[in-house]
Amino acid sequence: MLDSKIPSGKLDDKWVDYKGHCKLVNPANKRKMEIIIVGTGLAGASAAAAMGELGYKVKAFCFQDSPRRAHSIAAQGGINAAKNYQNDGDSVFRLFYDTIKGGDYRAREANVHRLAEVSANIIDQCVAQGVPFAREYGGLLSNRSFGGTQVQRTFYAAGQTGQQLLIGAYQALERQVALGNVTMHTRHEMLDIVKIDGKASGIIARNLITGELEKHFGHAVLICSGGYGNVYYLSTNAMGSNVTAAWKAHKQGAYFANPCFTQIHPTCIPVSGDHQSKLTLMSESLRNDGRIWVPKNLGETRKSIDIPEEERDYFLERRYPAFGNLVPRDVASRAAKERCDANYGVGTSKQAVYLDFAAAIQRYGKIEVSKQGLTNVSADEITAMGKEVVKEKYGNLFDMYAKITGENPYEVPMRIYPAVHYTMGGLWVDYELQTTVPGLYALGEANFSDHGANRLGASALMQGLADGYFVAPYTVGNNLADEIYNAAIPTTHPAFEEAAKKVADRIASLKNINGKQSVESFHKRLGKIIWDKCGMARNKEGLTQAIKEVQALKKEFWSDVRIPGDINEYNPELDKANRVADFIELGELMCIDALTREESCGGHFREEYQTPEGEALRDDENFMFVSAWENKGDHDWTLHKEELKYEMIKPSQRNYK
């Protein structure tokens, strides 16, 4: 039975009591303890900075040439926190409730409440670091709304919030590097966990420049390597984002939780052809002011600006009047897909809907006229002033859209369509963020713990920084207090030698296949299988087919992949082959998980299980649990269940109408 180690007591008091009673490591002993951190995005960089500040000996690894290249830098819209600066009714409880409800009641209450509690500390921390959050004219921090909420709790830095937060965490990390508390290993990829007596005791990492395998010891190993959205091939993730670190942990005994819970973001630039290798996000913040619509008439051929207001279907506002365009991502994505599937889509592909800012431009223009006390202002002047306000709020996003599509979103509506963006599933962790392997932890998007079946917008940055700055320093320290008697284990230990040999043998096996097909072609084919049959909509027949197709693809990959170059050199094709091999195995597990979860919830939409209105239909009686999968071998997994118990919130059918 899975032990989630949730502290006893009232939900409001659990985290405070835990911090007050957890074991501590004194400063002299911290200097003897070695911690390995894999990944240096927001979760990894903040954890490395916090642990280094506490005095631990930290070794941080990233496959990029700098921690500043982490995919966290691409986050656009903002970060949530229960500050209630707008005095609009927000609170820790409301953030907690919105997150649980947004996740369709498939997240662990205690972890989510802790996240809501520490959210306010994150903003204070980042402001102290100098993160340039947007401010009102008087200097107060500004907020905006995101999906699934009716309050304004999202802090932002234009459309580049992730970049600014990562720079803040990066400078905290680099301070510890300069002090000698953190050793940074860039251009290194973790390829296996080393276990000694059942406990994680280090990693095998490959130097991506020389190809050399390195052995590193750690009293604790923290996986902070992000999500696995690139299993779909086309996603908004960085091209290098991968599942390898988490998957190696899984193969070494760490359970993988809810792999089928993946997020499709509703506002992305549509696919334009087979030549594409990634997709581009248009921030959810645009739904604050943009209105989403399609033509009411089938076969509409007129330009968007020529279609009169009465012939436009603002379908989110029509279907969900209480939340309008700010419904959660899974709801908005399915609604857009439904319109396109019914042949109301726009653009040449007809796989897009409009995101229109004309009304917002006019509204802001009139506000500016009023603010400045102007009279006899022409319509063109009002429009010009409105565009300036919109530019100040979303300028970099509009510029990005214009560069990619060649269209001016100030003049014509954006065309958007849902795309893979985030993964709620990940390594199973307990309340202390420890996996089922003692000494092995997972932080941020690499774990499953906080978002259930659907993440609310602006909560990924919140979770990454919460885990790194405010949770792991306590929970990892609590367990390291029992390790102070254990000296560092030399990397000449047989377990390190055996692990290094296993990694080397796998790399050699890959390289020696000498087939005819490129790694990219296999990744593309995998992505199509998973997108078509385990994407926005799934069904029993498609998932059963997908499992067989992925198994056949794996067999073909290991017999016919071609990897140019040599092993002991800079070889990005070899790196990619390692990652795609892991993606193929993950893809099979995703489909198995989706097949066994015979309900619809959040981003997991089984077509057989929906309400008459086409909404997700949960089965709380039979599926109120976390699916935690244990790897038993090739194509072989065992399901373990963590029952979800709700003490403070009563699960109900989500209603955003």
What are the sequence ranges of the domains in the chain? 266-419, 498-643
Residue 206 pLDDT exceeds 90: yes
| pLDDT band with cut points at 50, 70 and 90 for residue 273 | confident
Residue 113 pLDDT exceeds 90: yes
Mean pLDDT of 144-165: 95
Q: From start to end of 389-433, where are the E strands?
A: 414-423, 426-427
pLDDT digits (tens, 9 = 90+) for 333-375: 999 999 999 999 999 999 999 999 999 999 999 999 999 999 9
pLDDT at 370: 97
Residue 63 pLDDT exceeds 80: yes
φ, ψ for residue 636, nearest 5 deg = -135, 115
Residue 637 in 3-state DSSP? Answer: strand
Distance CA 199, CA 137 (A): 54
Distance CA 57, CA 37 (A): 11
| pLDDT band with cut points at 50, 70 and 90 for residue 193 | very high
What's the CATH code, domain 498-643?
A: 1.20.58.100
Mean pLDDT of 309-327: 97
Question: 137 or 587: which carries more pLDDT confidence?
Answer: 587
pLDDT at 1: 75
pLDDT digits (tens, 9 = 90+) for 216-268: 999 999 999 999 999 999 999 999 999 999 999 999 999 999 999 999 999 99
Mean pLDDT of 459-482: 98
CA–centroid distance for 366 within its chain:
38
Contacts of 651 (CB under 8 A, 6+ apart): 105, 618, 620, 624
Residue 388 pLDDT exceeds 80: yes
Q: From start to end of 256-385, where are the E strands?
A: 256-257, 262-268, 291-295, 312-313, 353-356
pLDDT at 11: 97
Residue by residue, DSSP assigns 26-64 as: -HHHHTT-EEEEE--SHHHHHHHHHHHHHT-EEEEE-SS
| pLDDT band with cut points at 50, 70 and 90 for residue 115 | very high
pLDDT digits (tens, 9 = 90+) for 412-450: 999 999 999 999 999 999 999 999 999 999 999 999 999
| pLDDT band with cut points at 50, 70 and 90 for residue 34 | very high
| pLDDT band with cut points at 50, 70 and 90 for residue 274 | confident
CATH architecture of the domain with range 266-419? Alpha-Beta Complex (3.90)
Mean pLDDT of 522-550: 98
pLDDT at 79: 98
